Amino acid sequence: MSNAWAVGRDESLFDPALGHLHGFIPERWLVTGEATAWGKLRPELPLAVFRQGKRVCQGKRTAIDGAFMQISSLLWAYDIEPVDPVDYYDMVVVEFMTEPKRFRSRLKPRGPWVEKVVTKARRPPIETWTRSWGSQRR
């Protein structure tokens, strides 16, 4: 299993010109010189959850692509809004990681078309299959 702490501070992986290796500089994990607004994650860096080497997870690409599609669909259909006012810089330390404090939020549909699309997508698979192939009853 890879050591995320050590990978995040490896001088051979990260350019010291970006700042001190022990500092919080998320830009180190992005491809430099990329002509995109948000940057792109460096593909050569290991993701600890999938392990590395000969014991790497065989479903890594499926998991990453599936998560991307699910999150993209949510962001396409809904606006995510906090229920109460939120201080986005208020952080909490969990184990050895820092993350934002939890806050309540709601999903607000981006338009009236969202309900139709979501209802259609939630249709049970057997109903879709029966409509496509016909009933199996004789």
Domain boundaries, the chain: 1-57
Distance in angstroms (rounded) separating the CA atoms of residues 81 and 79: 6
> What pLDDT was estimated at residue 47?
67
| Intervals of the chain under pLDDT 70 | 1-4, 33-39, 46-48, 51-53, 122-138
DSSP 29: G
* Whole-number pLDDT of residue 79: 93
Residue 138 is predicted with a pLDDT of 47
> For residue 17, what pLDDT is reported?
80
